[in-house]
Structure 1
Amino acid sequence: MEHTPTIRSKIETELKQRGYSFSSFSKISGINRGTFSAMLNSNPPKPISVRQMDLITKALGYPEGWLYELYIDECFYEGKGHWKRIKPFLLRCVELGRRDFIQKVLSRLTEDLSYVPTIFELAEELHAEGKEKESVPFYECVVENERYYHSERLALSQYRLFCYSLTEDLESSLQAAIIFNSFRKSLPENYQLDGLLKLTNVYFNASNWEAAIKYATELRTLAISVYHQQVYNRSKNRQLDSFDTEKPLVVYYGLGHLLHGNALENQGLYEEALKFIPYYEDLTWFEGLDENGLQGVKRLQLWAKANLLNLKVLIGEVSSLASYVELLQQNPQEISHGLITIIESANKYNFSLDSILDVFSEEIGDYKKFVSKSSHYQISTLLWNYSRLYLELARYYFNTGRYSEAIDNIIKSLRVSSQINTKSTFIKGVTLLFEKLTGHITHEQLAEYEKVLEEVRYGMKQMVP
C-alpha cells in the first residue's frame, strides 16, 4: 500500500535530500531552530502556521502554494477544524487565487454546520474590503449550507450574489433576479430598498413591465414606511438607528414612482404615466434631507421635467420638441432615452427630425464614447437604450426611403443587442431587416450583418455550461 505523504514527511524528505540540518535550514528560512524542531519532532507536533509554511516553501525554492494541498490536513488536525489556522490559510488562498483549495477547505469545514456563521462573517469581511469576486465562494457556501430558509444570513448572501451577478448581459442578470427575489423580504430594510431598486431595473431593462411595476410599487411603499417611522422617532426625540443605503431614502421613494410611470410609458399608456410625475417632481417636503438628499431631489426634479416633455412629445405635441431638445443638450446623460422618444414620435406622427439628428450626430454616431462618460446610469441600461435607439432610427430612415442608412442602423442595433444579450430587440431587428430591407442590402452590409450573427453565435456558445 502506497504511503500518503504528510506536510511534515514532505519537508523532512526535502531537508534530507538537500543535506540541511535544523540549524542550517533555520538560518535560510528565518524560522527559529527550536520552533522548527518542534514542528517536526514534538509529540504531538507543534502546528505549522501559514506564514511558516510560506517561509519554508520560499527557502526550498518552490513556487507559492507548493505545500497548500497537504496543509489542508493541518487545518483539520485530529479531524477537527481549527479556525485560527483555517482563516489565515483561506485568506492566503484568496490572495493567490487558489479557489480549488478554498473549496476543499469549505467542503470539510461545513461537515460541521456550526461553522456557517463564521464563513459568512469572513465573506462579509472580504466584501467590506472590496474583494467582491473573492467573496463569492464563501457566500455560495453559506447559501448551500444554511439550515434556516428565512434567515437574514441566507438572504444577505443571496443579495450579495445577486449584486455581483448584475452585468451588461441582461439575460444573465434576469436569471440572478429570479433566484434572489424570493429572499428579498428576509433582508433588513436598508438592503431591501437597494434590492428592490435593482430588481425593478433588471425587469425594466428586460421589458417585463408587470414585474417592474410590482417591484417599483414595493420600493416606494417600503421607502415611505421607513420615512414615517423616522419622522415618528424624531417627534419622540428618539435616536435614529444607522440606516446605511446606497442612495438617500427620498430617492428610493421618488424612483418608485418614476419607474412605475416609465413602465406605463413603455406600454404606450401615456396618460396614465403622466399621473405619476407629480409624485416625484417636488420632494422638498421630505424631512431630514442632508446634502445628498437635496441633490437627489434636484435630480428627480430634472427627471420629472424631462419625462413630462418626453410624454408630451410621445402624445404628439410637436410644439414641445424645441424645449425637449434644449433640455437634452443641457443634460447629456438623458440624450439616449430622449432620442428614442423623439424618433418614436416622428415615426408615429410622420414629421421630419433631420435637423435634430444633426444636433446629436456625435452622440448617435459613437455610443461607446457616450456610455463610457455617463455616471448616472448603469452601462447595461445605456446599451439597452442604444439598441432601441438604433432600431427606431432604422424605422425612421426606412419610412423616409433611405434604405442604406436604415440597414446600417439595424446592424448597429443588432451589435449592441448582442453585446447585452437582449433577445427581444435582436429579433425585432432581424425581422425588420429580412422582411423589408433584404432587397436593398449591399455586399458590404451583408458581410457586416453576418459578422454580427457570428459574434452572437459565439456568445451563445460561451454561455452554455
Structure 2
Amino acid sequence: MMDWTNSIREKLMQHLKDNRIKHSHFAVASGINSGTLSRILQGNKPISMKQLIAITAGMGLPEDYFFDDYINECFSFSISIRRIRPFIFRCADFNRLGCIQQVTNRILEDLSYVPVLFDIAEELFNTDKHAAAEILYRGVCEAEKYQHSERLAHCHYRLFLIDLGDDIDKNVRAATQFETYVNRLDETDQLAALKHLMHVFGMAHKWDKVDTLAKELHRIATIQYELCYRSARPSEVKKGTERPIYYYILYAYLAQATASEKCGDFKRALEIVGLYDHGERWIREKDEEAEQIIGQFSEWAAANTYLYRLMSGEVHVLDEYADYIATREGEIFIALWHMIRAANIYHINIDNVLERFAGYIPYQSGEAEFGEYKPNIIKEKYIQFLGDLAVYRFNEGKDFHSATELMLEGLNLSIAMGSSRIINSCLAIFEKIREHSEIHKATNSIENKVI
C-alpha cells in the first residue's frame, strides 16, 4: 500500500467532491471498473497508463495534465515497465521530454534495467521518435560508459544518426566521435555504419578518410558474403543488413573510385570502375532486387567512365557523355556540374550543353530530379555547382553580372548550411569576380541582396 495522498488521487477526490459526483457514476463515465477505482483512490492499487488517460478524460482535462505527477506513480509501488513503457511513449507523443528525462534518471538508479531501457529506445527510434530516443540512448551510454559492450556501441551509432543534419562541421564532429565505436558493432551493423560515415566525411571532402573506410567496408562485406554462402542457412547470416551484402561490396568500390576522382587520380578511378560494373559475373543472387542493384551500379560505372575520361582531358567524349545521360534524368544535374568543372579546367565552351539541360538546373527549373542522391548532398553539390558555373561565366568574359549573382546565391546557401569550408570557397571565388573592374558597378548594386 502507498500513501493515498498522491497528487493525482487528491485532485480526483477534490473533483468528485466539488462536482458532487459519486464514485460509481465517475467509474461508468470514465470506463473504469468501480471496484478498481475505489482501490486506486484508497492507494491500494497503482494507476495504469490506460487508467490515467481515462481519469484525465473523465475530469475534462488535457491528456498530459497529470504527466508530471505520474512519474512518481511509476515508482511508488515498485518499478513497473508495464507502466513506464507506455508512459514514455505518450510523453514522446506530447513532446514531454522533461518527463522522459526524469523517468530515465530514476530507472537507471538500478542498472539491471539498462537492457529494458535500451529496448524502449530502439522502439522509439524505429518509430521516428528520435528526440525521446536520444534521451534514453544517452542514459544507457552513461550507465555503460566503462563497458566495451556492443550495446554501448549501438547507442553511439544511434546518437550519431540522430545528430546528422545540414551542418557539415557538426556532422563531422559527430562522425569522429562515433568512429571509435564502429568495430564494436555487430558486423552486419558495421556495413551500414561505415556507409553513413563515408557520406559524412565525403561531404566534408575528407577523401583519404573515405578511401580508408571504403576499404574496410569492402573487407567486412566480402568476409560476410563468403560466410553467407558457406553457412548451412545463408538467410540467417544475411539477416539484419539494411541492404544485401553484395550491395556494400559494390558500394565500397564506388566510394574508392569517387575518392580517387576527388583526389585527381583518374587513372586509379578508371581501374576501380570495372570492379563495380558487371556484378552479375560474381553475385550469386538472381532475384529482381539483385538485377536492379546490378543494373544501377552498371549505369553509374558507364557514366563515371565518361566522367573520368573527360576529367582526364579527353574532351572529345563530352558530346557522347551528354547523349548518354540525356535519358537518365536522375543523373543529369550531377553530370552537368562535372561538365562545367571540366570546361573550367580545359577551357572548352559548353554553352550548347548548358542550353540543352537548362531544365535540370535547380535554380532554373526548381523541380529537377536527383535520383538516389540525398537532399543534403545535393544542397552542397548545388552550392559547388553555382560556384563553378559562376567561374565559367566569368571566364567566358561575357556575363559578369550573372556570374556575380550566381556566386552570391551560393554564398547565401553556404552560410545557411553553416559550413566554414564552403563559405571560404565561395568567398574566394566571389572576391576574384569582384575584383574585375568591368563588374564593380554591377557588384555594388546587388551586394545588398546578400543575407
Query: What's the TM-score once normalised by structure 1's chain length?
Result: 0.89
- Indicate whether 1:305 and 2:294 are aligned: no
Who is 1:249 aligned against?
Answer: 245
Query: 1:106–1:136: structure 2 CA closer, same or farther, 3 Å change rule?
Result: same
Q: How many pairs are equivalent?
A: 444
Query: 1:279–1:215: structure 2 CA closer, same or farther, 3 Å change rule?
Result: same
Alpha-carbon distance, 1:446 to partner: 5.0
- Indicate whether 1:22 and 2:2 are aligned: no
- Indicate whether 1:165 and 2:163 are aligned: yes
Alpha-carbon distance, 1:447 to partner: 6.7
Query: 1:57–1:352: structure 2 CA closer, same or farther, 3 Å change rule?
Result: same
- The answer as to whether partners of 2:238 and 2:244 remain within 8 angstroms in 1 is no
Counterparts of 1:117-132 in structure 2 under 5 Å? 117-132=115-130
Structure 2 counterpart of 1:436, which letter? I
Q: Distance in 1 between matches of 2:80 and 2:198?
A: 43
- The answer as to whether partners of 1:150 and 1:183 remain within 8 angstroms in 2 is no
Who is 2:192 aligned against?
Answer: 194
Alpha-carbon distance, 1:133 to partner: 4.4
Who is 1:259 aligned against?
Answer: 255
Query: 1:440–1:76: structure 2 CA closer, same or farther, 3 Å change rule?
Result: farther
Who is 2:217 aligned against?
Answer: 219
Structure 2 counterpart of 1:425, which letter? I
Who is 1:268 aligned against?
Answer: 264
Identity, in percent, stands at 31
- Indicate whether 1:339 and 2:336 are aligned: yes
Larger CA deviation: 382-391 vs 417-426: 417-426
For structure 1, the 5+ residue unaligned runs are: 455-465
Who is 1:457 aligned against?
Answer: none
Alpha-carbon distance, 1:118 to partner: 0.2
Structure 2 counterpart of 1:138, which letter? L
- The answer as to whether partners of 1:314 and 1:345 remain within 8 angstroms in 2 is yes
- The answer as to whether partners of 1:39 and 1:47 remain within 8 angstroms in 2 is yes
Query: 1:362–1:249: structure 2 CA closer, same or farther, 3 Å change rule?
Result: same
Who is 1:395 aligned against?
Answer: 391
Structure 2 counterpart of 1:169, which letter? D
Q: Distance in 1 between matches of 2:65 and 2:233?
A: 60
Q: Distance in 1 between matches of 2:145 and 2:421?
A: 39
- The answer as to whether partners of 1:231 and 1:287 remain within 8 angstroms in 2 is no
Counterparts of 1:107-186 in structure 2 under 5 Å? 107-147=105-145, 149-186=147-184
Structure 2 counterpart of 1:39, which letter? I
Q: Distance in 1 between matches of 2:311 and 2:321?
A: 11
Which of 412, 417, 433 aligns to 1:420? It is: 417
Structure 2 counterpart of 1:171, which letter? D
Alpha-carbon distance, 1:9 to partner: 2.2
Q: CA RMSD in A?
A: 2.3
Who is 2:75 aligned against?
Answer: 76
Alpha-carbon distance, 1:433 to partner: 1.5
Alpha-carbon distance, 1:207 to partner: 0.4
What is the SS of the residue equivalent to 1:330?
Answer: coil
- The answer as to whether partners of 1:193 and 1:219 remain within 8 angstroms in 2 is yes
Cα distance per residue 1:3-55 (max 9 Å; x no partner): x963222322232233233233223323222221111226xx11111222222
Who is 1:86 aligned against?
Answer: 84
What is the SS of the residue equivalent to 2:134?
Answer: helix
- The answer as to whether partners of 2:247 and 2:293 remain within 8 angstroms in 1 is yes
Query: 1:412–1:328: structure 2 CA closer, same or farther, 3 Å change rule?
Result: farther
Who is 2:288 aligned against?
Answer: 291
Cα distance per residue 1:104-156 (max 9 Å; x no partner): 11111111111110011112223334444443322222222225532111222
Query: 1:95–1:443: structure 2 CA closer, same or farther, 3 Å change rule?
Result: farther
Query: 1:444–1:111: structure 2 CA closer, same or farther, 3 Å change rule?
Result: farther
Query: 1:377–1:135: structure 2 CA closer, same or farther, 3 Å change rule?
Result: same
Who is 1:39 aligned against?
Answer: 40
Structure 2 counterpart of 1:414, which letter? L
Alpha-carbon distance, 1:262 to partner: 1.1
Query: 1:111–1:451: structure 2 CA closer, same or farther, 3 Å change rule?
Result: farther
- The answer as to whether partners of 2:74 and 2:80 remain within 8 angstroms in 1 is yes
Q: Distance in 2 between matches of 1:367 and 1:289?
A: 42
- The answer as to whether partners of 1:367 and 1:386 remain within 8 angstroms in 2 is no
Alpha-carbon distance, 1:412 to partner: 2.6
Counterparts of 1:198-213 in structure 2 under 5 Å? 198-213=196-211
Q: Distance in 2 between matches of 1:122 and 1:307?
A: 44
- The answer as to whether partners of 1:386 and 1:416 remain within 8 angstroms in 2 is no
Query: 1:405–1:219: structure 2 CA closer, same or farther, 3 Å change rule?
Result: same
Alpha-carbon distance, 1:59 to partner: 1.8
Q: Distance in 2 between matches of 1:443 and 1:99?
A: 54
Query: What's the TM-score once normalised by structure 2's chain length?
Result: 0.91
Larger CA deviation: 298-307 vs 163-172: 163-172
Alpha-carbon distance, 1:251 to partner: 1.9
- The answer as to whether partners of 1:168 and 1:379 remain within 8 angstroms in 2 is no
What is the SS of the residue equivalent to 2:181?
Answer: helix
Alpha-carbon distance, 1:240 to partner: 4.2
Alpha-carbon distance, 1:365 to partner: 4.9
Structure 2 counterpart of 1:65, which letter? D
Who is 1:461 aligned against?
Answer: none
Who is 1:278 aligned against?
Answer: 274
Query: 1:441–1:421: structure 2 CA closer, same or farther, 3 Å change rule?
Result: farther
- Indicate whether 1:380 and 2:376 are aligned: yes
Alpha-carbon distance, 1:290 to partner: 2.9
